A and B are shown apart, each in its own frame.
Chain A
Amino acid sequence: DAGVTQSPTHLIKTRGQQVTLRCSPKSGHDTVSWYQQALGQGPQFIFQYYEEEERQRGNFPDRFSGHQFPNYSSELNVNALLLGDSALYLCASSTSGWGRVTEAFFGQGTRLTVV
């Protein structure tokens, strides 16, 4: 089992550009969540996808959008990049809990640097 895989591992973009990050969940998992971890901070919840729809969203602007594919993999898109978007972006996969607590497995993350 490959676990949660994210690509790319590192990325450098210029202010104003757009970026797409990718995540493949652990085998058997149907739910993907994205987190942003700024330097020296804890991860912050961006949004969660289940059955190809955004199920819930954290306090992030509309510049952050996502998608989930039929095979449960997911993309995170960020438009009009700002310097403040520089962070480690973590993908977590889990099974849908619907009230039950489920364990989230994290990928290695994508380090995004905006210059």
Chain B
Amino acid sequence: AQSVTQLDSQVPVFEEAPVELRCNYSSSVSVYLFWYVQYPNQGLQLLLKYLSGSTLVESINGFEAEFNKSQTSFHLRKPSVHISDTAEYFCAVFLGEKLTFGTGTRLTIIP
């Protein structure tokens, strides 16, 4: 069985401060990991993904995530957040041609 745990349901951060959104997974087989972002009243957009190779993956808008097999984690980070980063962030595991999502972390940026 596979599952995804997002440890923080809400994370408030001051604008231009760094942020880390935590994600841990459990799986008995090789994993493929994703971060999706959901802006208010919208669907999900892919932020970044880890399939294989380099354990550090980056998105075009400054986010990065590091796959850590020993700690079964795939935490999302950004060194300096902007108001426009306000959204819900979901970590997901791909297995059996479907995605299993965590419960999400609401990122709130404080001006």
Q: Which residues of A contact B43 (CB under 8 A)?
A: 4, 6, 90, 106-109
Q: Which residues of B contact A103 (CB under 8 A)?
A: 46, 49
A33 within 8 A of B: yes
B24 within 8 A of A: no
Beta-carbon contact of B97 and A56 below 8 Å: yes
Within 8 A of A (CB), among B27-56: 32, 36, 42-46, 49, 51
> What is the CB-to-nearest-CB distance from A72 to chain B, in angstroms, rounded to a whole number?
16
Beta-carbon contact of B101 and A42 below 8 Å: yes
> What is the CB-to-nearest-CB distance from B52 to chain A, in angstroms, rounded to a whole number?
9
Beta-carbon contact of A43 and B44 below 8 Å: yes
Query: A107-B43, A108-B42 are contacts. A97–B100 as well, Cβ < 8 Å?
Result: no
Beta-carbon contact of B101 and A101 below 8 Å: no
B90 within 8 A of A: yes
Q: Which residues of B contact A42 (CB under 8 A)?
A: 4, 6, 90, 92, 101-104
B94 within 8 A of A: yes
Q: A33-B98, A41-B104, A42-B102 are in contact. List 17 more A-B contacts (CB 8 A).
A: A31-B97, A40-B104, A42-B6, A43-B44, A43-B90, A43-B101, A44-B101, A45-B100, A55-B97, A56-B96, A58-B98, A90-B43, A96-B97, A97-B97, A101-B94, A106-B36, A109-B42
